[in-house]
Structure 1
């Protein structure tokens, strides 16, 4: 039968096999490498990176230190890294829990640079640990008042985007600064995030009620601005990315976290509206319940909306402690996304479809920027989608449920908010999927975008470059350099196809 069926056969998948040799790596070196990978993974996960990105980046670093069989797994907020056993050595496993949430995009950019240094070769594992010590112990790059000013500018931009008056702009900036300061105080006392979200929504709604009572201001835009600020820190994109890349348990956990914290916003709004009702303040909203977002039509209003979106995206990066060179890129991404959204809305395209299409553009732009390594893709993606978050729909749903008692209108707005959030997350992931071929073999466009050397933090969506240790450096390693990292090089697809090899997770393919 074998003689009658000639031809090349695909190799075994590797499932169930064991490693019979240790690769001359000592147990101490293995533990150091695993400890380094779990520290890298913790910083990425606490910053909102997708699980697939965390796994691929950690495996790249392990490969650079000749640990080619490192297993990395993320279970909700717990990271597992393990070196598989050999015929004569036991397995080594390290577990770390991600407790703190720290949005510091400067730290993420420095981590990106460190990963590129490691995967370019010549960095000992001890030097990498020292660099991680400096990176993780360094305080935020800006004083706290700068971040508060960033949130105030963000709220001002969202108020411009929503078509509020200049009084609304000022009140939105003041309320967001107050929310940020109160949130910091509550966080210092260890208050759960649910109550922090509720307190922020309560403050935004009460300021809107006061503006409605004393200045006759429409409260919708003001409350929606506060809601968008509170929603900006939630990992919509991360949860959708985890689901689409096969990490369903983590995706469900992240989505549950998003829904629970959104429920905190609802509780805060309800509490403020009840306080207003007890005080005899009756609020009326004159809006169409079927209207999920308002599309500006006049040139001035369009200019204000696009400028507000750009300002919000730029200020969000400042509030998230990003590098200053990322501010312009983030603002351009947010302004462009809003311009696309307005154009599609003017063409009578549905709100969900228009939002998803604009999010696809954000994901594609984030991919292009990450290829050029101006900033991690997460920075651009987060800033670009923020002006599209459904703050209006969330407030209107709560108002119709709690005040008007209009169940049908409330359900309409709640469904619009959920559909918008889903379209944002799926759109960004789709944009990154469409842009992933540019990372490898995309003709002149890909050659123009890519730069020499291995990538830093991975975006493990779609067609990414599979990396492997450079064979030339492995041959020239001397005994005293065994703890140094080796350069990783892209795996040639032609050679892979010729050998009949398949990409594996250990190769860093996402």
Structure 2
């Protein structure tokens, strides 16, 4: 090696590194051009990446005090929705909308059975903030739910401070029920009257059913006042209905089936079948199992009450005979007059149920029409030879679809319409027959057949409503062209998280950096564009940025 070769090698190494860097840049440019060529050759919408593992986008200049007040507001909202029987996914979506309106983009909402949890993730400057609240009180007040729907619409429309929202929640949760207690009892009596008409009872049966339901309601209020568990309240209510039916059978010769079935439907109406099925469909299995388990447990209380009443009749020497074909579980009217009475009875039951649940008057009319229409469809399908489970499920699908349309037009929350419309179709008749055949006649085969029929009908009702909402979900605002046609302008109120869910975003992102007194104001939310153009443009821009960065 000649002297000076080492320095020459060093001088040669410098341009070699430059050449390697240039080659790397050329390869990056080729990669960017290749990605652009692939996107041009394969047009269409790209699905976004899954959010698992992504860094959460947090908003700066949001203090701990503001965060705690917003979280407290969201968990109060979730508590009202859960106590009204709303689905877990609906509660989570609505609470996240409210948190987003107050610039908490990293808010986590979850529900475990009767426990609600809201949390703001930690940042570099502050720890995580978490609030947990247990929902033990059941208070079905549909007026409160409708008022909450309007409050959420105001918040997500922008311009509502956190203090104003808390004041509105105070007024909403502290004001008494819309109707006096005696009117709610009259509502339950009217509900029972409608169910008795639906089941083809005589005028005396209808009157006795109404009076019995009023007695059951007042007895339940008394037991609830002294802290009696719900299981024993259902046992007592079912026993009262059975004993009244036995007395009517003994002294007036009335068939006890319609009377007991009416009481069963009344007691079953308080169970959250729709919310449980929605939780199962939307993937919230823990809450779904808890709700279904509760429904089965309380239904077993009804069975215990019926058995107790029948055993009392047996000990008294009263022998009851049911002249009913056990294989005929689906009984429908076939005369114009009886069909009209059944449809009117279903409408009366649906309307009176909303009165008993303290719904606004506008919702009462809508629920009555929806219940009557569902019963008419059920009778039409039964007349055409469709089986009970399929006919009931089809009618429930129609109810879910109509409830979605009504909520889209902001006439009433979907939960109110759906619940009131399907309750007249609950299988009270099959439940009573199953208990009678199993506990009194000892006919295991017929009793099991009736029990399976009742279970299938109940599941068809809950899943049918959810399927109807799924079918109607493209009609929601900005979920499709039809949704833009049907929907009233403005962000939604209480969300229904079944089917095609519209994602919301701040209408003016620059407001997220607001300071001072404007920080506590909610920002307006608007639906995220769903045509895929934004996604394609963002990917195109990302490719361009990659190309520019490589140069």
TM-score (norm 1): 0.95
Q: Tell me what 2:547 maps to.
A: none
Q: Tell me what 2:119 maps to.
A: 82
- What per-residue deviation string (whole Å, max 9, x for no partner) do you get for residues 423-442 of structure 1? 00110000000000001457
Distance (whole Å) between structure 1 residues aligned to residue 173 and residue 262 of structure 2: 32
- Pair 1:224-2:261 in alignment: yes
Distance (whole Å) between structure 1 residues aligned to residue 424 and residue 81 of structure 2: 24
Structure-2 change in CA distance of 1:11 and 1:455 (3 Å): closer
Structure 1 segment 466-505 matched on structure 2, within 5 A: 466-471=503-508, 474=511, 477-494=514-531, 495-499=533-537
Q: Secondary structure at the residue paired with 1:290?
A: coil
Distance (whole Å) between structure 1 residues aligned to residue 398 and residue 385 of structure 2: 19
- What per-residue deviation string (whole Å, max 9, x for no partner) do you get for residues 298-345 of structure 1? 000000000000000000000000001111100000000000000000
Distance (whole Å) between structure 2 residues aligned to residue 75 and residue 294 of structure 1: 40
Q: Tell me what 2:197 maps to.
A: 160
Q: Secondary structure at the residue paired with 1:356?
A: helix
Please, what is the CA RMSD of the aligned residues?
Answer: 1.7
Q: Secondary structure at the residue paired with 1:481?
A: helix
- What per-residue deviation string (whole Å, max 9, x for no partner) do you get for residues 68-107 of structure 1? 1100000000011000111232111000000100100000
Please, which of 296, 302, 316 is the counterpart of residue 353 of structure 2?
Answer: 316
Structure-2 change in CA distance of 1:285 and 1:468 (3 Å): same
Distance (whole Å) between structure 1 residues aligned to residue 332 and residue 59 of structure 2: 63
Q: Tell me what 1:395 maps to.
A: 432
- Pair 1:6-2:64 in alignment: no
Q: Secondary structure at the residue paired with 2:505?
A: strand
Distance (whole Å) between structure 2 residues aligned to residue 126 and residue 57 of structure 1: 19
Structure-2 change in CA distance of 1:443 and 1:81 (3 Å): closer
Structure 1 segment 355-374 matched on structure 2, within 5 A: 355-374=392-411
Aligned residues: 501
Task: Say if 1:20 and 1:86, in contact at 8 Å, map to a contact too.
Answer: no
Deviation at 1:115, TM superposition (A): 0.4
- Pair 1:199-2:236 in alignment: yes
Q: Tell me what 2:488 maps to.
A: 451
Deviation at 1:290, TM superposition (A): 1.6
Please, which of 188, 193, 196 is the counterpart of residue 151 of structure 1?
Answer: 188
Distance (whole Å) between structure 2 residues aligned to residue 457 and residue 232 of structure 1: 22
Q: Tell me what 1:343 maps to.
A: 380
Structure-2 change in CA distance of 1:472 and 1:249 (3 Å): closer
Structure 1 segment 54-203 matched on structure 2, within 5 A: 54-203=91-240
Structure 1 segment 399-438 matched on structure 2, within 5 A: 399-438=436-475
Distance (whole Å) between structure 2 residues aligned to residue 387 and residue 201 of structure 1: 18
Structure-2 change in CA distance of 1:11 and 1:198 (3 Å): closer
Deviation at 1:446, TM superposition (A): 3.1
Distance (whole Å) between structure 1 residues aligned to residue 478 and residue 516 of structure 2: 37
Q: Secondary structure at the residue paired with 2:35?
A: coil
Task: Say if 1:22 and 1:89, in contact at 8 Å, map to a contact too.
Answer: no
Distance (whole Å) between structure 2 residues aligned to residue 288 and residue 473 of structure 1: 70
Please, which of 279, 284, 289 is the counterpart of residue 316 of structure 2?
Answer: 279
Deviation at 1:292, TM superposition (A): 1.8
Structure 1: gaps of 5 or more residues: 502-510
Task: Say if 1:293 and 1:392, in contact at 8 Å, map to a contact too.
Answer: no
Task: Say if 1:239 and 1:251, in contact at 8 Å, map to a contact too.
Answer: yes
Q: Name whichever of 21-30 and 440-449 sits farther off.
A: 440-449
Structure-2 change in CA distance of 1:472 and 1:78 (3 Å): closer
Deviation at 1:288, TM superposition (A): 1.1
Q: Secondary structure at the residue paired with 1:119?
A: helix
Task: Say if 1:296 and 1:342, in contact at 8 Å, map to a contact too.
Answer: yes
- What per-residue deviation string (whole Å, max 9, x for no partner) do you get for residues 372-410 of structure 1? 111111100001101110000000000000110000000
Task: Say if 2:113 and 2:290, in contact at 8 Å, map to a contact too.
Answer: yes
Q: Name whichever of 222-231 and 288-297 sits farther off.
A: 288-297
Deviation at 1:480, TM superposition (A): 1.5
Structure-2 change in CA distance of 1:442 and 1:248 (3 Å): closer
Distance (whole Å) between structure 2 residues aligned to residue 476 and residue 73 of structure 1: 27
Q: Secondary structure at the residue paired with 1:82?
A: strand
Structure 1 segment 236-255 matched on structure 2, within 5 A: 236-255=273-292
Deviation at 1:23, TM superposition (A): 1.8
Deviation at 1:478, TM superposition (A): 4.9
Q: Say which one has the larger Rg.
A: 2
Distance (whole Å) between structure 1 residues aligned to residue 59 and residue 157 of structure 2: 24
Deviation at 1:24, TM superposition (A): 1.1
